[in-house]
Structure formats: C-alpha cells, structure tokens
Amino acid sequence: MTLILGIDPGLQRTGWGVIISKSNQLSFVDCGTIKSDAKLPMAERLKQLHDGVAAAIARHKPAEAAIEETFVNVSGSSTLKLGQARGALILTLSLNSLPVYEYSATMVKKSVVGSGHADKAQIAMMVGTLLPACKPHEGMRSADAADALAIAICHAHQRTVNQIKAGVR
C-alpha cells in the first residue's frame, strides 16, 4: 500500500490530491486547492503554496509525490510564474523527503482518460469514476483538485507498469 500525493501546480491555484495505491486498486483519501493572494509579493505567494502543501503532507504522510511538468504558455511571463510556483512546490516535496515524479499533461490525460487531448470535464469525470469516494468531497468542486488526483492516478499506473517490468509484485 502506497500513499501518493498528486500536485497540479499553479501560482493562483494549486490542486493537491492524495490516493492509496494497493496492487491494482486505487482509493481516494483527500484533495483540495491552495490559493495564493494575488495582492501579495511573489515570495509571500510562493510561501502560501509551500505552507498549503506542507500541511497536506503533514496531515496525510504520503510516501511519494507526483507533479505535472511545466508547459510553455503563449505568455513568457505566465510560464515563468508557473515555473516559480512549480519550483517552490518541488522544493517543499523534497524538504519533506518525498521522492518526486514528474509527468507531462499529455501523459496524465492518456493515463486517466485514454486520450492525450482530453479536456478538464473529461478528466474530472474519469477521476470520479476511478475514485468514486471523491465525488461528494467538497475539494472536488475544483478542477485543480481533480487534475491533482489525475496526476496521482497517472503515477500509480506508472508505478504498476514499472514494477511489472522489473518483476516486482
């Protein structure tokens, strides 16, 4: 049994989700969204993200973490801000001694929906199907939390594939 923390990084809103992966079964644990205050300086906003993820780690004690890779936006400024948020989040995971696994948005979508071009509604629907206990959870009102759970699911699937390749059960 492995507790996995999934992170959907963003400067304004960062989604997080925790699942249990046991053999080929997945179970929902918790999820939520961390919001940073756009009125604050960048350093304080990054600290808000750090504090939120650190609290989720302290509460659930995951064994592994997965985070979405940065994608390049049309706006260089937006991409840079996302990169800063993602860097702060990866540091938080590392400071908590979690191994960090990174997945592209396309890989996450393929793993959860079966198509690398799925939209947020399709992802949320499949997350709800794979983790039925998350549907009534208040954290699932956020697409960011659903995306974070999808990232955790992707990692669980990749763990299983890698264990099969290595001959580990």
For 66-98, the pLDDT digits (tens) are 999 876 666 677 778 888 899 999 999 999 999
Query: Given this model, what pLDDT does residue 141 score?
Result: 73
Task: State pTM to two decimals.
Answer: 0.90
- Spatial separation of the C-alpha atoms in residues 17 and 7, rounded to whole Å: 7
Residue 139 in tokens: 């954290």
| Domains, in order of start, for the chain | 2-166 (3.30.420.10)
- Spatial separation of the C-alpha atoms in residues 90 and 100, rounded to whole Å: 7
Query: Given this model, what pLDDT does residue 137 score?
Result: 65
Residue 9 in tokens: 């990084």
Query: Given this model, what pLDDT does residue 143 score?
Result: 87
Res 108 pLDDT > 90:
yes
Mean pLDDT of the chain: 88
- pLDDT tens for each residue of 6-19: 999 999 999 999 99
- Spatial separation of the C-alpha atoms in residues 17 and 15, rounded to whole Å: 7
Strand extents, DSSP E, 44-104: 64-68, 100-103
Query: Given this model, what pLDDT does residue 159 score?
Result: 80
Return the active site residues: 8, 68, 144
